[in-house]
Structure 1
Amino acid sequence: MTDTISNSAPLSQPGVPRGKPVVDLGTRAAHVSMALAFLLSYATSDSESWRLVHVYSGYCLAAVLVFRVVWGWIGPASARWSLLMRRVAMWPVWFQKLKHGEWMSRQFWVGASSWVLSIAVLCIYVFCTVAMASGWATYNELLGDGWLNDALQELHEGLGNMAMAVVCVHVGLVVALRVWRGPHALKPMWRGYANTSGRG
């Protein structure tokens, strides 16, 4: 990895586990910001009195997505789109392992869960991008005030619901990993590094 995030305590301090950078600060900040903006936008989607909050939270979500797209090209190795796409492209490997009866091993489920998380992240990005574009077009009535605008509004709402469904899958899998692998499974996303000493 090319990340330069350091541990919160000096590595030379006795008793402190040595850590390796896993998730960079930019990716973690984008992750939290996107989650908050999406939840606020979704929570206000059906309220006419909160419409401006819905619109501006959508703009915030768009800004975070733009940052994440750029960061995926210029950021460190852990943030690159190539890494995400390599994980997504691993589906033939897990399919073959499943086909050959290797699904009983712990290694299979660790790798497969990482693949599902990557798929979920990619779907969230795609669904949110199209939902924001259709929502912006609807809000500004780019297609007029007729049935085309209504159809675009339905698309916007449908994609928002699809994105929320994938978010629920994502969160559910994260919770399952927390229960299955212990608290250390989530530390890379919160702290940016993983312990290499074998301890959580």
Structure 2
Amino acid sequence: MIMESIRTGRVTRPTAVSRRRVVDAPVRMFHGLFAVCFAGAWLTAESELWRTLHVSLGYSLAGLLGFRLVYGCFGPRPASLRLLVGRLVPLAGLIRNRRAVMTRPVSVWRPLWHGLMSGLILVVLLGAVPVCLSGYLAFHDAPEWVAEWHDMLAEIMLAMVLGHVVLVALGVFGEGGGRCGAMLTGRVPGSGPDLVRKNRTWLALVLLLVVLGYNGYVWLQSRGCGEAVCGEMVSVEGARDGEHD
């Protein structure tokens, strides 16, 4: 291409790679917020100082999960949860035909990767239900075994999330990063029409503002209540000192 440009005297520009939108903004925003809330809740689980934030992040997880279930059932077709379930069908066939996987690993890599990824996503989404429920019960004076189950379920969910991260890394290696970047940009390389016709950026912004606003409000309320309690304690101690004097 360079020699051709020198010979003809024309400057040639590299051909732009065509990309098509396959994931809309609300699904991508859910994915990012769900990851951040789970990571934050896991990191603050053992700290009494951050207990309020741990609880609010847990409630945010439950709210995000509810949004994804509703959006997956009544939203646009590319966001449907049925697509995740449909990708498990080829995976079941590959599991039964293990010989094909061993003899032709390159040809079955893509359906195998998509099937495993979809399965892990469904497990994480469904696993978040008992985690959030047990966390709610443990926060409201449930028996001690409920808190222990909550911790155990959270660890299992963490393992599933780490498995998801490993699959993403393998997908970047196997697909060149094009398809795995869909959760960041919403697009993948390739020709053809966009699967997502409307990006629905406004809905993604509403979801972000609701999560940030809720957690910010709860945190400010907890800080205010803490200062009020401290002020009352100081007043009581001062009154007692005055009585002794």
Taking structure 1 as the reference length, what is the TM-score of the superposition?
Answer: 0.82
Encode CA deviations 1:153-182: one digit per residue, 9 max, x unaligned. Answer: 111111100110000010011112212322
**8 Å contact 1:134–1:153 — kept in the other structure?**
yes
Aligned counterpart in structure 1 of residue 154 of structure 2, from 153, 160, 184? 160
Aligned residues: 179
Report the counterpart of residue 119 of structure 2 in structure 1.
119
Report the counterpart of residue 53 of structure 1 in structure 2.
53
**8 Å contact 2:179–2:189 — kept in the other structure?**
no
User: Does 1:188 pair with 2:182?
Assistant: yes
Tell me how far apart the structure 1 counterparts of residues 135 and 146 of structure 2 sit (CA, whole Å): 8
Question: How far off is 1:96 after superposition?
Answer: 3.2
Question: How far off is 1:100 after superposition?
Answer: 4.0
Question: How far off is 1:102 after superposition?
Answer: 5.3
User: Aligned with 1:106: secondary structure?
Assistant: coil
Encode CA deviations 1:43-77: one digit per residue, 9 max, x unaligned. Answer: 01111221111101111111111110111012221
Mark the structure with the bigger radius of gyration. Answer: 2
Tell me how far apart the structure 1 counterparts of residues 184 and 73 of structure 2 sit (CA, whole Å): 22
Tell me how far apart the structure 2 counterparts of residues 100 and 110 of structure 1 sit (CA, whole Å): 13
Report the counterpart of residue 22 of structure 1 in structure 2.
22
Aligned partner of 1:114: which letter?
Answer: H
Gap regions ≥5 residues in structure 1: 1-13, 144-148
Question: How far off is 1:187 after superposition?
Answer: 2.4
Report the counterpart of residue 92 of structure 1 in structure 2.
92
Bigger RCO of structures 1 and 2 (CA < 8 A, at least 6 apart): 2
Which range moved further: 34-43 or 80-89? 80-89
User: Does 1:44 pair with 2:44?
Assistant: yes
What is the identity percentage for the equivalent residue pairs of Structure 1 and Structure 2? 27
Report the counterpart of residue 10 of structure 1 in structure 2.
none
4+ long deviations beyond 3 Å = 99-103
What's the C-alpha RMSD, in Å, of the aligned pairs? 2.0
Report the counterpart of residue 177 of structure 1 in structure 2.
171
User: Aligned with 2:188: secondary structure?
Assistant: strand
Aligned partner of 1:109: which letter?
Answer: W
Task: Classify 1:101/1:79 alpha carbon distance in 2 versus 1 (closer, same or farther; 3 Å).
Answer: closer
Taking structure 2 as the reference length, what is the TM-score of the superposition?
Answer: 0.68
1 or 2, which has the higher helix percentage? 2
Gap regions ≥5 residues in structure 2: 1-13, 192-245
Encode CA deviations 1:76-126: one digit per residue, 9 max, x unaligned. Answer: 212101111111233321123323455533121221111111111111111
User: Aligned with 1:184: secondary structure?
Assistant: coil
